Amino acid sequence: QMSDLFEKLRPRRSEKASAAQGNGPAGGPGAQDFVRTTRKYWVATEDVSSVKQAIAEHLPVFLMEREKRVNIVELGEEIVAAPKPGVAADSQMTSSVYLDNVNLGLYHNRLQKQPHSIAVRLRWYGLDPTGGVVFVERKTHRESWTGEESVKERFTLPPDLVVPFLQGQHTWDMEEARLIEAHARKAQKNAAPGSSPVQKGMSKAELAGIKKLFVEVQRAVESKQLEPALRTMYMRTAFQVPFDASVRCSLDTSLCMVAENPVNGPTCVAMNRWFRDPELPVHRTEVTRFPHAVLEIKLALDAGQDPPRWVDDLIASGCLTEVHKFSKFMHGCAVLFPDVAQEVPYWVDDVSLRQSLQNSASRETGAAVARANSKRVKNAPGPVSPNDAQSNGVHLRPNDDLNGDLTHPLLVGATSDTVLDLMGDSRQNADLGDGDDGNAVGSLGGGGRGGI
């Protein structure tokens, strides 16, 4: 691993100092006098290796199997599956099933920046959703201007209890009894031969925290009529110095989103499942493959402290394109559910996404029909079929072909003044910038943009 070589070259950090650092960049576990920021960037496929190297020079890669039992501060990625026993991999398959209702209520609340809007998802690691524990997660979004931080909370369930939990049949009393029994078994297993197990168990505070989240999520599922809606899948590489939360990075590659319920098939609820039946075929309109990697940089710095120089250099290199508030969940809903999404995030107009959107267009829908059904086209005549398009007087643009072009509804309403080129703009800005000390800003490793 290249990361191991860079780790040997870095100055050694004492374990005592690292452990004392706790959750803050310059204090113990209770230190809160620091500023947290999270930014998301698109990374072109051809720049992924360069970005990985640039980060690995300063932060070690979190190796999945080797670090399986190591507690990384706030990484929040408990490892429950690995590629092969004893094999360290620099990335891991991460899958999440997002819940929403038929009107995409959670999606619209988040897009409209409603106060305390939430996202609820079921996450697992590895290829098999039934091969380990399932993380039930709730993300509560808060705008930075309020002074509050967005929060991610989660608890675990065995895969076979997820559906009963969503249906309200697995109650908190049942879950509490299961947790107490599981801890008792763990204590028995870890006890030395011939000795009595130490009945330490979970503290009342731990149980109270889990109970609060368990009950609130279960109530939200019932009151908002949430059900499995969208899945995101990607390979995640995590970078972080153990026990140091000052700079953390995650790089997601091979990202795709899948509709959890087939258009012409039984839903997850109807089949008593919490994830899509893998035996059902996936139509092109039910999957979208995101063309870029997604880098997330999280900083937790003392007030007034600047980010490390290497972070600024990476951001200014031209390899990263910042996309404010980018969300995999919102992108997947906008692309795969265009007939339900009343509004869409701004980045869907980016020119680099056009082919991926086109790939999710229906084979049965020509450009004219897609244009007629699009909510982004003013005075559209309403839903029409290919056979009715001409008779309804649908206006054909010069390049429209009723039985030819496959135009996604998000594309047909776009005009020249709504097209974005976020990546092109960021690269142009990097090429025009001047670095300090005579170094070109638009470079990584001194070899030009994306150079090694």
Whole-number pLDDT of residue 343:
95
> In whole angstroms, what is the distance from residue 296 CA to residue 173 CA?
38
HSE value, Cβ hemisphere, 13 Å, CA-based, for 8: 4
Whole-number pLDDT of residue 412:
75
For 310-328, how does the pLDDT look when each residue is reduced to its tens digit (9 = 90+)?
999 999 999 999 999 999 9
For 267-300, how does the pLDDT look when each residue is reduced to its tens digit (9 = 90+)?
999 999 999 999 999 999 999 999 999 999 999 8
Going by C-beta distance under 8 Å and a sequence separation of 6 or more, which residues neighbour residue 1? 61, 63, 88, 90
Whole-number pLDDT of residue 146:
55
188 compared with 393, residue with greater pLDDT: 188
Taking all residues of the chain, what is their mean pLDDT, rounded to a whole number? 78
For 129-177, how does the pLDDT look when each residue is reduced to its tens digit (9 = 90+)?
999 999 999 999 876 655 566 789 999 999 999 999 999 999 999 999 9
Query: Hey, is 254 helix, strand or coil?
Result: strand
Residue 214 confidence (pLDDT) above 90: yes
Strands 247-259, 287-289: pairing is antiparallel
Residue 94 in contact with residue 78, Cβ under 8 Å?
no
pTM of structure:
0.79
Percent of the chain, pLDDT > 90?
52
Q: How many other CB atoms are found less than 10 A from the CB of residue 75?
A: 17
3-state SS track over 27-65: CCCCCCCEEEEEEEEEECHHHHHHHHHHHHCCCCECCCC
Active-site positions read 328
With cut-offs at 50, 70 and 90, classify the pLDDT of residue 10.
low
